Amino acid sequence: MNKKTVRAGIVGAGFSASFHFEAIHKVHSTNVEIKGVHALEGAAAYAQKRDIAVYDSLERLLDDVDVIHCCATASAHEPIAIAALQRNKYVIVEKPLTGFFGDGSEDFNGEVFPKETAREKALASIERMLQAEKKSKGRILYAENWIYAPSIQKEREIIEKTGAQVLWIHAEEAHSGSHARTYAYWKYSGGGVMIGKGCHPLTAALYLKRVEGKARTGRPIRPQTVTARIHALTRMPGFRDEGHIRSNYFDIDDFSVMHVVFDDGTLATIFASDIILGGIHNWLEVAANNHRTLCNINPSTAMQTYNPVEANFQDIYVVEKIGTKQGWTCPSPDEDWFTGYPQEIEAFYRTVAYGEPVESDSGIAADCISTIYSAYVSAERNGAEVPIKTF
């Protein structure tokens, strides 16, 4: 095959920009020319380490590329994505697609801000992005790695080939607290753990229900209502901080549960929290009429190691956010692969170069964000059932 060359740019120079860079180097269906990086902070160090150019303007970077990786803080996704689409470029947008990021005040407090208004503004942001995409020759490629995780893709095959009816999906993303400084503030993150982590298992559940509907009737099954609760456990006056869990959040939830009812009457229950020790806890379970599946994204027991001396593993990466390497652990032999990062980026480059269809598109991203903001409205009403607008 004559491989096409795709010119790429990176926006943002933090944590996610690093694993995107790694994943780009695993793309095999196209040649990739990385033109450079643009970021508010950290671009020079990022570029120097990787021997790429720094762009001080987003527009100049856009002029030089076919696709950008939007790895910036969530509050910047909408303007960056729209700028790319207006120039007919593809944009790989990190999660969450967009949201509501406050009223512009420095001391904005998302905890007490009315959630109906937050939802209205988030939905308007989604609309603007979808409109920009409609007018563009480029597309939004939504970087939801859970959709590309091999265990979720295997479950897709089982649902498609057996004509399964999925009755209940339950799933969780959790660990002991995100590293990013901005994560502590609603005004940068668009909410707390319910959006920050909950978007991953929720989007996987929305995806599998879409797959199910298309396989059996040709029509995707969509989310209809949501019931949710959120809590701020590390900000309780009585929380006893022993230093294992991040606890300096300003106005965000660190525990959440969303219970989604789909338009066929079936269910998904999604947990997300920042209070779980022992490494990342990412799993999804499917209860169908003809099978049951457990997707263990992290930890995976593909490998289990007993190490009696912590110091022996000093130079050995075991698995993300593990607190100790002593005793039994589940080292991930290829963590990025189990997580779906290289598969996701490979798929996006095939779309950019050869026009292949997108599994994780703006439609599923829009439904995810819409569900989560209806969930915030529900939580404000102590768990009342709230309708979800679908796109």
Ligand X SMILES: NC(=O)c1ccc[n+]([C@@H]2O[C@H](COP(=O)([O-])OP(=O)(O)OC[C@H]3O[C@@H](n4cnc5c(N)ncnc54)[C@H](O)[C@@H]3O)[C@@H](O)[C@H]2O)c1
Which residues contact ligand X by CB under 6 A?
A: 11-17, 38-42, 71-74, 76, 94-95, 143, 145, 180, 182
Q: Which residue's CB atom is positioned nearest to ligand X?
A: 14
Pick between residue 39 and residue 208 the one whose CB is nearest to ligand X: 39
- Least Å distance between CB 328 and ligand X? 25
- Least Å distance between CB 225 and ligand X? 26
Pick between residue 182 and residue 290 the one whose CB is nearest to ligand X: 182
- Least Å distance between CB 175 and ligand X? 11
The Cα angle at residue 74 between residues 70 and 78, in degrees rounded to 5:
65
- Least Å distance between CB 58 and ligand X? 7
Pick between residue 108 and residue 239 the one whose CB is nearest to ligand X: 108
Task: Quote the CA–CA distance of 191 and 102 in Å, as a whole number.
Answer: 10
- Least Å distance between CB 108 and ligand X? 16
Pick between residue 94 and residue 172 the one whose CB is nearest to ligand X: 94
- Least Å distance between CB 20 and ligand X? 9
- Least Å distance between CB 340 and ligand X? 9
- Least Å distance between CB 307 and ligand X? 26
Closest Cα to residue 297, out of 171, 156, 177?
Answer: 171
Pick between residue 143 and residue 352 the one whose CB is nearest to ligand X: 143
Pick between residue 6 and residue 17 the one whose CB is nearest to ligand X: 17
- Least Å distance between CB 372 and ligand X? 13
- Least Å distance between CB 12 and ligand X? 3
Closest Cα to residue 62, out of 39, 83, 33?
Answer: 83
Pick between residue 18 and residue 165 the one whose CB is nearest to ligand X: 18
Asked if 296 and 197 touch (Cβ cutoff 8 Å), the reply is no
Cβ contacts of 38 within 8 Å, gap of 6 or more: 9, 10, 11, 54, 55, 56, 57, 58, 61
Pick between residue 247 and residue 282 the one whose CB is nearest to ligand X: 282
Pick between residue 203 and residue 247 the one whose CB is nearest to ligand X: 203
Pick between residue 159 and residue 204 the one whose CB is nearest to ligand X: 204
SS (H, E, C) the chain: CCCCEEEEEEECCCHHHHHHHHHHCCCCCCEEEEEEEECCCCHHHHHHHHCCEECCCHHHHHHCCCEEEECCCHHHHHHHHHHHHHCCCEEEEECCCCCCCCCCCCCCCCCCCCHHHHHHHHHHHHHHHHHHHHHCCCCEEEECHHHHCHHHHHHHHHHHHHCCCEEEEEEEEECCCCCCHHHHCHHHHCCCHHHHCCHHHHHHHHHHHHHHHHHHHCCCCCEEEEEEEEECHHHCCCCCCCCCCCCCCCCCCCEEEEEEEECCCCEEEEEEECCCCCCCEEEEEEEECCCEEEEEEECCCCCCEEECCHHHHCCCCCCCCCCCCCEEECCCCCHHHHHCHHHHHHHHHHHHHHCCCCCCEHHHHHHHHHHHHHHHHHHHCCCCCEECCCC
